[in-house]
A and B are shown apart, each in its own frame.
Chain A
Amino acid sequence: MERHFDEELKALKKNILNMASMVDELTGRAIKALKERDEALAEEVEKADEVVDLLEIEIDKQCLDLMARRQPLAIDLRFITSVMKINNDLERIGDLATTIAHKSRILLKYPPLKPLIDIPRMADMVREMIKESVNALVERDSVKAMKIIEMDNEVDSLYVQVFREILTYMMENNENIKSGIELILIAKYIERMADHVTNIAEDIVYMIEGKTIKHGFETIDRAGGA
């Protein structure tokens, strides 16, 4: 039976998916601005964060409203509480994209340290993770969500690699230190983004399966029967 409530849940889902694609796009543009040393694009990204913030507030409001009016239970409850948390993580990713755009403008003051390859690769992986989390949410596929968590490990090792490489440039020539530090920070922000997507994936698994997999726990909370 289709309930009126289902319509409202669909509207919420549409908004959170919209939020995810906005954040994904923002990340892509921030990295493009960095790579191509495009100041105008970086400024655009910094401004666009406001749109993400507004949508975050709207989604929060929607969730609270549904909780108050519908008193959701079971899957509906898990869906709404998960959306609230996913919303928060997406907003943080948006903030990080903005910070990267800001840093890319700072980097314009210095000559390019090296052609950027691995940092954009990290960002591509994060974007892939965001896309996969959207798919997992839409298709209610917890296996897909679990794979995102594995992808986070790849981003982590790439970060270590980038860190080491930039360190060598800084050791070689202390003129490189300022831009080197900015680049390491950017890589760190991307690594943080991947952590946020991992949280999202964990929330999706909880939403679908009702089991907690975060912090290394894998508990199946359903075993509460007589």
Chain B
Amino acid sequence: MADRFAVDVADLTVAYRDQPVLWDVDLQVSEGVLMAIVGPNGAGKTTLIKAILGLVPTAAGRVLIYEAPVPRQRRRIAYVPQRGSVDWDFPTSVLDVVTMGTYGTLGWIKRPGKEEHARAREALAKVGMAGFADRQIAQLSGGQQQRVFLARALVQDADVYFMDEPFQGVDATTEKAIVTLLQNLREAGKTVLVVHHDLPTVPEYFDWVLLLNVRRIAAGPVAEVFTNENLRQTYGGRVPFEPQTVQPPQAVVSQPLTS
């Protein structure tokens, strides 16, 4: 199992016109790893996920999920887009949105039935939203929207999860709930890649980290690569936070933003 990677990216390059957004990124993630993707704005974090999933055209590179190209592995991949990427005024219910996670296994034309709705309700219960199934999605708070998106990903019952800023704009309770959820996924042997913004929480929440700024700066276990030196390289000398070298989580103290 040692060299059987859940996610295997080589030389991935994405460009808008002649401007590289991602430059020659290599990334190998083993099964059962919970990994943060961090980097400054415009570092290409979202683009990396989208490129891996084949949602944006790539200029070069190769992506394998469990040793096979993405189009052949779609059933094994779950994707949580940024919450702001959809229209929450869309006329539909919470249950319906979560059920969308089953569409991949259903395939074309076949409609979701009792079984799919039962699975969706189960996933809603897992994120603490069981009572919200029939709510119109416009009535949800930001944290609730995020939980609905996570429930939708859980329903996909995938092996590899890609999440784009699941902590964005959520309250403390929801953040805790999401962290527990991510760790449960890891315990279940799933591989989870998360675009993350809050540097101080990286050592507490994640076991691996990818430091990205158009190029890959470093990737590996948090204890090894989440260093001052690497952060300075990633954020161009303006590190918004000083990591305490490999201390238990509670030792990590957030510093005020400096520039």
- Specify whether A and B are partners: no
Residues of A within 8 A of B (CB): none
Residues of B within 8 A of A (CB): none
